[in-house]
Structure 1
């Protein structure tokens, strides 16, 4: 078997320069076309009891635009309002997981083996050796690669919208790559014993369709494993816009656990397991500190920023901000670790995990 060929990465400055004209042309008419009309009802329960939950900008790429999250007082669902159009989703996702962002995020996802194994272990008491497993929103397939240690006989397939799923197949992390929107892919009905969705549903435009699609591809008594951010986390209130899981403009829907449990029951699932402390990722304070420093520092070069690229002085000032903030970052990381054990009882868990069985 030959090793897959990997393209030699270009210097970031060259990539940015090559993209600049196209981005500036796309932004010439502003960002209004990237947003749908604002809705007055909850997309989860239909209630008209909405209130503003968060107003922010893109704190990750600093692409232009302002974003709003509303909360339904009827069911607690939090959703982006106004939501992005298809053009908006394409614009704000571009160069985050692929292109400019691929190397940075691909490396970060590849270092989370312990997290992936923890997710996979939640299935072991209910299915020791599933035959086929579909990981929806698999990215570069790192979860599947790690989970194979616990399930050596299981065939892992991956599904994603990005080209990362094809790279995952090339590198042998998954057996088959399915690229496209999950509800629209044909030929998968009744093929899988386990379907996993890790931090995927919050990115979808219609979580209900995604859950229905999962039921379609599962065999009778198959398992659906879901992990999503918890909008009821106390960190969400304490940290405000600096709470990492808000992740605007990418996170479109954040459902409380009770809502998701009820929807699964309506679709014919029985929830077998609900975990909060086990799904917590101890990164809230560190991420908030990093985002704050990044907001204070001069911007790094990016093709969607107008004006001339930053010179050496601005680059030096940016480095100085992070150097000065290094002690705060270290303290935040230590605090995250110290508080991790109390995250569940204290209501600080930033995510929750549900395992449900498709009723035969």
Structure 2
């Protein structure tokens, strides 16, 4: 038995014990109003299963007809978040997550982001929120070699980032919980694809306001729920990222909220943050849904040898389709990033000096 097979076998009893109690307990009561504006004019935007890890459960994204905010409804409880995040960024899938979200796939994007903020300020201290293993600070040092970078995350990766010298200080926890401790310490902050994972994005923005020095800058990148890819690909649009993404915030809503909290928006960009992965990710999600089950610890039992070999053979047969989708993403990116097919946006906001 391989080390991975052994790790799966070791985890299976724990997962099956949890699942025997059902997945309904992982959800809060369903909301009847929008968490952003309070309107009761809601519509169902998406119903789906876990297309990422294929853990049991169903998920719904509702959209507010008044302000266009989209949100998971009913939302996962803290216990549910723990269950569905487990073995995704660490544990069984740590190596795979590192390949997908690590520096080899993000270096150019991180360099562009660092240069974008450095056009407004040369910060002495920078806090990267939701930093993971602190890949962004490691790359950003090439642009800002005299800036002291710190990282914040709820997972253990931030401590690994500190051990590897990517950040000087590692803060483990949530930004709202640590805001008092970190108040006024930083003149630059970044949140790369963090707000959509947060339970309450408004509280994150308020906490950032406390942590930033007056005149400091906050840079945010999030998926764009107004991307035309969302309608074209439906549940196969990877930026829905269920069950992890709890909120999808339209640009207009974020700008308005930042202004109300005492920020001034100084830059907006839909072009550079675009991630050229929509078609290839949709292909991967579809294949993962259609192929025979992998050996996951939340399955009742391990697949037999025949099913394993069938899965492997079908993956080889499907490889050309995935390569074609990947090539299309790369070729079309320069064009699509200039259109409403762009799948992400960036906002840079300055904390007003006179804001309380």
| Structure 1 residue aligned with 2:40 | 48
| Structure 1 residue aligned with 2:197 | 203
SS of the residue 2:275 aligns to: coil
Choose which of 239, 242, 254 in structure 2 pairs with 1:245.
Answer: 239
Measured after TM superposition, the shift of residue 316 of structure 1 is: 1.3
Matches within 5 A, 1:210-221: 210-221=204-215
| Structure 1 residue aligned with 2:252 | 258
What is the CA deviation profile of residues 168-206 of structure 1, one whole-angstrom value per residue up to 9, with x for unaligned ones?
101111100000111011310000010100000000000
What is the CA deviation profile of residues 252-281 of structure 1, one whole-angstrom value per residue up to 9, with x for unaligned ones?
000000000000000010101100011100
Measured after TM superposition, the shift of residue 107 of structure 1 is: 3.1
Matches within 5 A, 1:2-13: 11-13=3-5
Measured after TM superposition, the shift of residue 110 of structure 1 is: 2.8
Asked if 1 retains the 8 angstrom alpha-carbon contact of 2:270 and 2:338, the reply is: no
Measured after TM superposition, the shift of residue 114 of structure 1 is: 1.2
| Structure 2 residue aligned with 1:312 | 305
Measured after TM superposition, the shift of residue 344 of structure 1 is: 3.4
Choose which of 78, 81, 87 in structure 2 pairs with 1:86.
Answer: 78
Alpha-carbon distance in 1 for matches of 2:293, 2:59 = 20
TM-score w.r.t. length of structure 1: 0.95
Alpha-carbon distance in 2 for matches of 1:76, 1:175 = 39
| Structure 1 residue aligned with 2:337 | 344
CA RMSD of aligned residues (A): 1.0
SS of the residue 1:332 aligns to: helix
5+ residue gaps, structure 2: none
Alpha-carbon distance in 1 for matches of 2:80, 2:92 = 18
| Structure 2 residue aligned with 1:236 | 230
SS of the residue 2:113 aligns to: helix
| Structure 1 residue aligned with 2:134 | 141
Asked if 1 retains the 8 angstrom alpha-carbon contact of 2:223 and 2:344, the reply is: yes
Alpha-carbon distance in 2 for matches of 1:242, 1:63 = 16
What is the CA deviation profile of residues 226-247 of structure 1, one whole-angstrom value per residue up to 9, with x for unaligned ones?
0000000000000000011100
Choose which of 154, 173, 176 in structure 1 pairs with 2:166.
Answer: 173
Matches within 5 A, 1:45-194: 45-108=37-100, 109-111=102-104, 112-127=106-121, 129-185=122-178, 186-194=180-188
Alpha-carbon distance in 2 for matches of 1:139, 1:273 = 25
- Structure 1 stretches of 4+ moved >4 Å: none
Alpha-carbon distance in 1 for matches of 2:296, 2:123 = 45
Measured after TM superposition, the shift of residue 89 of structure 1 is: 0.7
Asked if 2 retains the 8 angstrom alpha-carbon contact of 1:293 and 1:321, the reply is: no
SS of the residue 1:42 aligns to: coil
Measured after TM superposition, the shift of residue 345 of structure 1 is: 3.5
Measured after TM superposition, the shift of residue 315 of structure 1 is: 1.2
TM-score w.r.t. length of structure 2: 0.96
Counterpart check, 1:329 vs 2:322: yes
5+ residue gaps, structure 1: 1-9
Alpha-carbon distance in 2 for matches of 1:12, 1:213 = 40
Measured after TM superposition, the shift of residue 142 of structure 1 is: 0.5
Alpha-carbon distance in 1 for matches of 2:12, 2:60 = 27
Counterpart check, 1:268 vs 2:285: no
Asked if 2 retains the 8 angstrom alpha-carbon contact of 1:286 and 1:329, the reply is: yes
Alpha-carbon distance in 2 for matches of 1:17, 1:113 = 36
Structure with greater helix share of residues? 2
Asked if 1 retains the 8 angstrom alpha-carbon contact of 2:126 and 2:150, the reply is: yes
